[in-house]
Structure 1
């Protein structure tokens, strides 16, 4: 009887323990659940959990093809595997050069980026060789798939790239010192969307990967619906640059040429103006339906460092904000103008010069903290605000949010 009593007690304890674990995990994000049993590096437990080690039944992420699985199997994943993994990726890119003679210079640029990425993750032990290999094999595969892709006015994200797009930049992020603020405002956005409202998020812009960081912010805060459905206003370079394209196609994009790219080259000006008109008409139709979350960088580009080596938020273009305000009013659906501040500059800094006639010749990256601060509706903060004040108010508000991260 004593043995039976102990057995029943142990069984009850084990059952309660498992139920507790399951209930806790239910409240976590998808990426957390996938990594719950596979965390290999303790530094990745905080803001950015992601797979480091898989069990036999889930050896490869869903975004890896059979060919990439074979390459993965050829790598001996031990403590010295970083070098072998790096060489394997470089060899794949050399093969890619032979297949893409018109993109050799871009691939060479990416080789430089990979070298920096490799040194950073090895130095900070922020990513296993296994994950390093998986991420870049998928990048190469996506590069091939979309190298000649012509973006429509509204691009719907490639669902097969969703998980990969969240994971790619994470090994460069110092989780311990990163700051994600304003999460209490996510619930407000969800409530507005449920009511059929439109939400515009006006933000500064630091790096090409900002859309990925923004998506991840919402994803890990139980707002995958926002992460998947947010529409990003995208300019010329993120579509034209073959190296940026794999990340661009992983997000919903409304394609618009910014004013500095309309004029160059001159013979394409009319074509670009017509393209923008079609994009804006598509936007009007979307706003008339409601339930949109639209991210906009009113500066029209990325923030740069000033002569004192300080990052300054670029001025917001009043015409851009005025255009969205007019469209919001004409839709006859309530709209919210939310502020957001991004501090992502160091993980993939842009060049200090702006060349409208060429793709960037160098890509850099470094392991660094990031920051994102989601604000409130500017109309709630300044209910008596005059329309002519909107741009200045939003710009000042985003700067205030930025100071906290």
Structure 2
């Protein structure tokens, strides 16, 4: 479960892992919006990646006559992801917020836990933060038309995965299923936020590895 900065995220993740864990990047499956295969600027970042495409809720109603088609396509994508998880030994990257990070903070419901629980093989959910916003920031506002105007630049980047989160452990400490869902979603969000703040201090604050804290230990493995 990760935040989502731009269409360059899969390429950034692959670059940051290629020194120590290239097999992870090669076998990762990304849940991505349909624009990654339709927008001419986004397409190159998607080539060679394992993708499960979904239609974003932000654009679901753009063309009313296509709403039903989009919903059916999303249902097929959900079934495809369930099949992947049932096969075991898969890593799936999901951005629960449903869109790219923008200046205003936002959160999203975390409904993917149910897929992991009913996949057959044991499912594991890890919060992860990525910082690469300044490389290719999205427009300030959500745009309906394909062909967003973008600025691409050179900038530092970072990736921070956290230990696994267990829903059963959180649920055992809560009084009701609804409370457990809220606690679990909040815990995942807080973990990603904490990691992102450390990455921001490392890169934007120019603190380097000194920005590490007990729960987020950073390294630069290619040095």
Shorter-chain-normalised TM-score: which range?
0.7 to 0.9
Flag the structure with more relative contact order, 1 or 2, with Cα contacts below 8 A and sequence separation at least 6.
Answer: 2
Partner of 1:337, secondary structure, is coil
1:396 paired with 2:190, answer yes
Between Structure 1 and Structure 2, whose CA radius of gyration is higher?
Answer: 1
Once residues 361 and 278 of structure 1 are traced to their aligned partners in structure 2, the CA distance between those partners, rounded to angstroms, is: 27
Equivalent residue, structure 2, for 1:327: 115
Contiguous gaps of at least 5 residues in structure 1: 1-201, 307-311
Partner of 1:335, secondary structure, is coil
Structure 1 stretches of at least 4 aligned residues deviating more than 3 Å after TM superposition: none
- Aligned partners of 2:139 and 2:148 also within 8 Å: no
Once residues 114 and 76 of structure 2 are traced to their aligned partners in structure 1, the CA distance between those partners, rounded to angstroms, is: 17
Q: 1:372 and 1:261, CA in 2 relative to 1: closer, same or farther beyond 3 A?
A: same
Equivalent residue, structure 2, for 1:384: 170
Instruction: With the length of structure 1 as denominator, give the TM-score of the two structures.
Output: 0.45
The number of residues matched between the two structures is: 191
272, 293, 297: which is aligned to 2:91? 293
Equivalent residue, structure 2, for 1:371: 158
Once residues 404 and 393 of structure 1 are traced to their aligned partners in structure 2, the CA distance between those partners, rounded to angstroms, is: 17
Equivalent residue, structure 1, for 2:211: none
Equivalent residue, structure 1, for 2:140: 352
Equivalent residue, structure 1, for 2:73: 275
Instruction: With the length of structure 2 as denominator, give the TM-score of the two structures.
Output: 0.80
Equivalent residue, structure 1, for 2:40: 242
Deviation at 1:363, TM superposition (A): 1.7
Once residues 103 and 114 of structure 2 are traced to their aligned partners in structure 1, the CA distance between those partners, rounded to angstroms, is: 32
Q: CA RMSD in A?
A: 1.7
Equivalent residue, structure 1, for 2:217: none
Deviation at 1:288, TM superposition (A): 1.1
Partner of 1:376, secondary structure, is coil
Deviation at 1:365, TM superposition (A): 1.7
Deviation at 1:250, TM superposition (A): 2.1
Deviation at 1:368, TM superposition (A): 1.6
